[in-house]
Structure 1
Amino acid sequence: MPKSSALPNLRHIRLFVAFADKGSLTAAAETLGITQPAASQAIHALEDALGATLISRADMKPTAEGETALVRFRRISDFVRQAPAAARLASKLDAMLSWPHLRAVSAFLTHGSFSAAARGLGQSEPAVQRAAREAEMIMGIVLFEGTGRTIHLNSSGQHAARVFGLAIAEFESARADLLERLNRFEGRMNIGTLPLTRTFLVPDAVAQLAARYPLAQFEILEGSYDSLMSDLERGRIDILVGALRHNFDSRTLEQERLFDYELRVVGRAGHPLSERHDITPADLSLYSWIIARQGTPSREAFDIMAAGFPPERPARQSVETGSLNVVRGVLLKSDHLALLSAEQIRYDLEAGFLAVVDVALASARRSVGLTVEPQQVVLG
């Protein structure tokens, strides 16, 4: 998370949005109740923070860079205004709150306490606690409950922390967008990856992006679908890559399909079924299985397949894991079987360590794609 010195005043962002809406810096200054010189100084500070010219001094219109930043600035204001507040204050939050307020509340949700939030922000605990309590007073509602070590965010506080985290992430995205326009992306991209794409799609994409943007930094985070979705919704990661969900339901995120893949039955090289053909469900039921966690597309495909096993020999669900390393280790040292895509284990197949069993499966085709915020810019 950026330090406060790297973030411009929220009021400066609000001023630029007002300038774009009014078509005049003078009118924008009047709307915000500040002088023309103060407005000009604020715009200069905003441009310095972003390293870009946002307003053309020739015709006093947004530059191409200004139009790019404006999309993010509007979303920052929208996120801040989505935070719960007393009715009379809701539309004014982006004018009243500051980045330290947003960062303190957001960091509490991330780290779980004021002391941990302070360490994460590189500030003193009293400073972080003071900023969080100021945010609470400005918003006119209670965000924190409990005392001492039992202090926690209530439901309103959690909601505020989530949208504040998204607002902070939006500014960093604005900076990244502007750098990318100059083909010199120098920022950091946090990528969440699910098991299916950890061994081929994400590493291949990062290698290409790193070659194109040598100053960029990439962090790859692994985890369960639920935990990574939570990170994405809070702005902790920029994009989630993996198998798409049929029952996807989000008001703030969207899925984008990239391609389809097919799950296959896989075992070790030399497995008793690896050289056979015309394999039946009864043959598959003779072996123990490594299965994916409940709620994943791979587990859904396994359940459909296992429903066709003989009633007297139900599937032996020996190992449940989301770790491909565990799956590979068990497959290589036993006669277990698993459902995997050929892409996941392409190196093991090429090296002759694992083998695909010659059996067709119904309902084994799934889609891989991206989960992002709508209109999220993805480097390419």
Structure 2
Amino acid sequence: MRITEKAMDIGEPSRAETIRSETDAFADSRTSMPPNLRHIRLLIACADKGSLTAAAASLGVTQPAASQALKRLESQFGTVLIERDGMRLTAAGDIVVRRSRRLCDFIRRACGQGLKSELPRIEARLTWSHLRAVSTFAENGSFSAAARMLGQSEPAVQGAARQAEAIMGMPLFDGAGRAISLNSRGLWAARWFGLALAEFGNGMDEIAEARGEYAGRVSIGTLPLTRTFLVPDVVATLARRHPQARFEVTEGSYEALLADLERGRIDILVGAMRADLPSKTLQQERLFDFELRVVGRADHPLVTNDGITTSDLAKFPWIVARRGTPSRETFRTMAASFQSPALESVETGSLNVIRGILLKSDHLALLSLHQIRYEMEAGFLAVLDHELPHSRRSVGATLRRHWLPTALQSEFLDVLREISRDLS
């Protein structure tokens, strides 16, 4: 379905651009079109002032227009948000207001402290299209890729991003053409715009949960150590409990997944913990400890040897983890004791690649027993008799400090902790 966006009844700027239905860009919300941001601010004003008339006056609109806006908002959320006799918030209204306050706070943070005096004007003009254009560019790295992600034309997405620049009164991009990129202000804005978009989706999921419908989403970023045993176990457990729930599992480098976490693209990052987090807005929670072991194929020449030495290990090629990872650091420490340079033949974070190479060659790798439990049970891979000193590491969950999880997301964390206790 195609629609043409029109000016909202309490002042959102009109756009002539005909775009695809908002349903595609907001699939998580399960609504035909996201609420007008000014309507959301009207609801907050109603909660604060206890009067629709006073709320309308604070936004500079008429009471009839505000009444129509509130009805439309309730229609889009699919529930009554305010009891008209006494202007009391319903249970669903409490959820929407709580999420809306956070959403609006994220938008204000995107604008930065330097624009504090201009915030009322900026807030009144920014729309979902502006937020999506900037945040999706940050996620995909170009307007063409962002347009494909949103199902819109490239000029429409670029136009919305440029409108956001004009409204905010500051450049968000550097360069031109295919060399265009977000500058530091643009990256900052994209991060908080992304969190605002995620907050809306979580609000819709929370309303459904209040009705007993667990059909929301949990988005998990996974690092190599937890891709084959921990995260799949948690997802399988929750999928049995809540068949309508959706679980989005994303793989990638630590740096890329950390950026996704800060932008709200993922909810939780699970994997080997780092000594220092690069952002004060994030926090780590330890789940369990593990040790790395030297692993090769079941009929590797060293499998039958007892007391394997570093000299023995130095004779074979190695599959090593990416630079900057805890596993790579453990390998570097071990290889320092080799009498000859280590044969670092392959560098990868993909367990599928590691498994394939180990099974078909004399390569060795450092892996945890959790990562190869199925291969060991099937008799494909084996652990060599060589202890690695100081190889003990921790697996944990990295979360946003200001994150307000839905019931489904909280349950995911609970099951994650429960299964992790059994692995300790």
Name the TM-score class by shorter chain. 0.7 to 0.9
2:260 aligns to what?
Answer: 231
Q: Is 1:348 aligned to 2:375, yes or no?
A: yes
Specify which of 271, 279, 287 is matched with residue 258 of structure 1.
Answer: 287
Specify which of 185, 190, 195 is matched with residue 161 of structure 1.
Answer: 190
Specify which of 97, 113, 123 is matched with residue 152 of structure 2.
Answer: 123
Q: Is 1:242 aligned to 2:266, yes or no?
A: no
Distance 1:81 1:27, change over 3 A: same
Distance 1:126 1:302, change over 3 A: closer
Q: Is 1:39 aligned to 2:39, yes or no?
A: no
Superposed counterparts of 1:1-380, under 5 Å: 1-2=25-26, 5-57=32-84, 60-84=87-111, 86-90=115-119, 92-307=121-336, 309-310=337-338, 312-374=339-401, 375-377=403-405, 378-380=409-411
TM-score by length of 1: 0.88
Report the CA distance between 1:126 and its aligned residue. 4.1
**Runs (5+) with no aligned partner, structure 1:** none
Distance 1:316 1:107, change over 3 A: closer
Q: 1:62-113, CA deviations, whole angstroms, 9 ceiling, x for partnerless residues?
A: 3333333333222211211122464531355333311122122223333444
Distance 1:316 1:202, change over 3 A: same
Partner amino acid, structure 2, of 1:321: T
Distance 1:273 1:152, change over 3 A: closer
Q: 1:160-213, CA deviations, whole angstroms, 9 ceiling, x for partnerless residues?
A: 222212211111111122223333232343322111111111222222222222
Compare 292-301 and 143-152 and name the one that shifted more.
Answer: 143-152
CA distance in 2, matches of 1:56, 1:246: 51
Distance 1:113 1:59, change over 3 A: same
Partner amino acid, structure 2, of 1:117: A
Distance 1:151 1:321, change over 3 A: closer
Compare 229-238 and 269-278 and name the one that shifted more.
Answer: 269-278
Asked if 2 retains the 8 angstrom alpha-carbon contact of 1:14 and 1:95, the reply is no
CA distance in 1, matches of 2:360, 2:147: 47
CA distance in 2, matches of 1:214, 1:242: 26
Distance 1:326 1:133, change over 3 A: closer
CA distance in 2, matches of 1:175, 1:278: 59
CA distance in 2, matches of 1:77, 1:324: 41
TM-score by length of 2: 0.80
Equivalent pairs counted in the alignment come to 378
DSSP 3-state at the match of 2:110: coil
Partner amino acid, structure 2, of 1:38: A
Q: What do you get for the CA RMSD once the two structures are aligned? A: 2.7
Report the CA distance between 1:23 and its aligned residue. 4.6
Q: What percent identity do the matched residue pairs reach?
A: 60
Distance 1:306 1:115, change over 3 A: closer
DSSP 3-state at the match of 2:152: coil
Report the CA distance between 1:324 and its aligned residue. 0.9
Report the CA distance between 1:58 and its aligned residue. 5.7
